Amino acid sequence: MLSWVKGKSDHPMADEKGAKELLAELPANDPYKALEEVSHWLEFTRNADGLKPQRIYEIVDQLETAAKPHHRKLSQEYLTAGNRLQRFHERRIWSTLTELWRQLGATYDYCLAQTLPGVSGAGTLKPHAPAITCRAIRALALELKWDLLRYGPVDPTVWARMGALYAQAEQRGFALQPCTVYPGPQGDSSVRGEYLKPLMLYMSATDSLLPRKLELAERIIAQHSDQFVLQKQPASGCHYYADLSTAKPPARMVARVTGGESVRYFGPGAAFDTVDRMIDTTTETGALPSSLNLGGTYEPSLVVEVLRHLARYWSAAPPARAQERRKSFARISVVHNFDDVVAIISGESNDLAFDANIETWTVENESDTGYGALIPEAKSDWLRVGTLLGIKPEEGSCWGVGIVRRMSNDGNQQRYVGIQTLAKGGARVKLYPVGGKAVSEGGQDAVLLPSSAADSGGSGELSLLMRMGTFSPRQSFQMRAYERDYVLVPKQLLEGGQDFDMAKFRVLQHAA
């Protein structure tokens, strides 16, 4: 991008010398400040006078290139820290990156307008129109992703702008045209491919995925976007639809959609079978297929878990609830944090500081296996998908174990939380590693769950709720329960969360 024709402008990046000086002054060790300055200069570029269209595009490209190492650093920090980030820190990362995507998308949109007939200098930039459109959609897709990472809501203007960009690409005849969006490997795409990525991500039930799994799902989707389908008429493999002319999100088709020329039907197409094959291959071999390039190292078990999630929600028939939800206006008491859950499940409530640890949530619906509750966002800074909970209905007599399965924000400072009940009741036990030293002189706390939690009554098996990282397929334990000793052989990790392991063990022997 060095075909700029010099013109008069007060923009500090109007020439290459000024651009180099400005970029060199970006703070190298302060990603927040660097990205804030990049966002400022992107907005300034849209309002600057005297810049030729080609130079505008060059400036945006230079600013985005300068921003990449900083947004990679903050993104990695956000995804790896999980719920260990303080609320202020989490919000600062989110707001800094989201503002960058907004400014970047708006400025690429502005660049695209410079390719239209009647704009002076549009001819030199017009060949780049497909790539500019792809970049604009990709910036909007990143804005969408970061809304999903915080469990919504998604800004409706994201859908409106993406739909308008794709509609314009169709109208101008380059929606399917292959182009190089960015230099380097996997830099080639098309406007249709870029538009399908955020559509398919949104339809993949990300409200039940932890951030790291959402990131992995996004990478799988990006690699297989060329297998997705998007067309003007319903067809096999197109389970969803989107209206290019509205700000509404895409949706699954539950009946034939009566829409006009702006409605597009889309779906996984051949990618559904590809995902199934990858699941089989990885399960059989224990290794990821060589064709699956995720841009990083992931455990095969984690990848299989995400692939199965995608397969469920890409199916022609949506996953059905195991139990019907009933409207409810009850209340439940809730505690979190492994130690507090262990104490209250086992009936040793004196270990809790009640005022600080127990919350009361309003239930909107319930089933035999869970609850749907609405809680103020301000009181749920600690809440994540996968959080372990101790739960007791208002009229109930005992505490149970639950896990947060899905979350969403409604835009009114409230969060909807879907909770699955894992067990009702339990007993505190002590664990001592067989062949090793105990964690402490008194052993390690765990909760022995009722046999129904593992569906293993009378089978010589039991389920334990343990502190995160305790379970190992190679580590047996001696368990002290009900004044008797048992030797437990690990069988299967049933559930892993932010601070707990729930695992099944076989009872090898016990002493009277």
pLDDT tens for the chain, residues 1 to 512: 444 444 578 899 999 999 999 999 999 999 999 999 999 999 999 999 989 999 999 999 999 999 999 999 999 988 877 555 567 788 899 999 999 999 999 999 999 999 998 888 889 999 999 999 999 999 999 999 999 998 878 999 999 999 999 999 999 999 999 999 999 877 899 999 999 999 999 999 998 888 889 999 999 999 999 999 999 988 888 999 999 999 999 999 877 766 689 999 999 999 999 999 999 999 999 899 988 888 888 889 889 999 999 999 999 887 765 556 677 778 888 988 898 888 888 776 554 554 457 888 888 888 888 899 888 766 666 788 888 999 988 877 788 889 998 888 876 677 889 999 888 888 889 999 987 654 445 688 999 988 644 444 446 889 999 998 899 988 999 998 888 889 999 999 888 877 899 999 999 866 54
Exposed e or buried b per residue across 306-334, where buried means at least 16 C-beta atoms within 10 angstroms of its C-beta: bbebbbebbeeeeeeeeeebeebebebbb
- The pLDDT of residue 1 is 44
Contacts of 119 (CB under 8 A, 6+ apart): 53, 113
What are the backbone angles phi and psi of residue 408, rounded to the nearest 5°? -155, 150
Q: How far is the CA of 133 from the CAs of 42, 52, 190, 291, in angstroms?
A: 17, 19, 9, 28
**What CA–CA distance (Å, rounded) separates 89 from 78?**
9
Q: What is the pLDDT of residue 6?
A: 47
What whole-number distance in Å separates Cα of residue 23 and Cα of residue 447? 56
The answer to whether the bond into 153 is cis (omega within 30° of 0) is yes
Residue 168 is predicted with a pLDDT of 97
How many Cα atoms within 13 Å fall on the side-chain side of residue 14? 13
Locate CATH 2.40.10.220 in the chain. 326-424
Q: Is 140 exposed, middle or buried (0-12, 13-18, 19+ CB in 10 A)?
A: buried
DSSP letter (8 states) at residue 146: H
Angstrom distance (rounded) from CA 211 to CA 402: 20
The CA angle 462-463-464, to the nearest 5 degrees, is: 125
Do 196 and 266 contact (CB within 8 A), yes or no? yes
The amino acid at residue 21 is E
State which fold the 326-424 domain adopts.
Thrombin, subunit H (2.40.10)
| CA gap 273, 26 in Å, rounded | 46
Q: CA dist 159 to 105, 242, 249, 388, Å?
A: 13, 9, 6, 34
| Whole-angstrom distance, CA of residue 310 vs CA of residue 208 | 11
- What residues are paired with 180 via a beta bridge? 188
SS3 99: helix
Which tokens in the block code for residue 261? 């020329």
Asked if 110 contacts 47 with a C-beta cutoff of 8 angstroms, the reply is: no
Residues listed for the chain: 512
Tell me which residue of 83, 86, 85, 43 sits closest to 63, measured CA to CA. 43
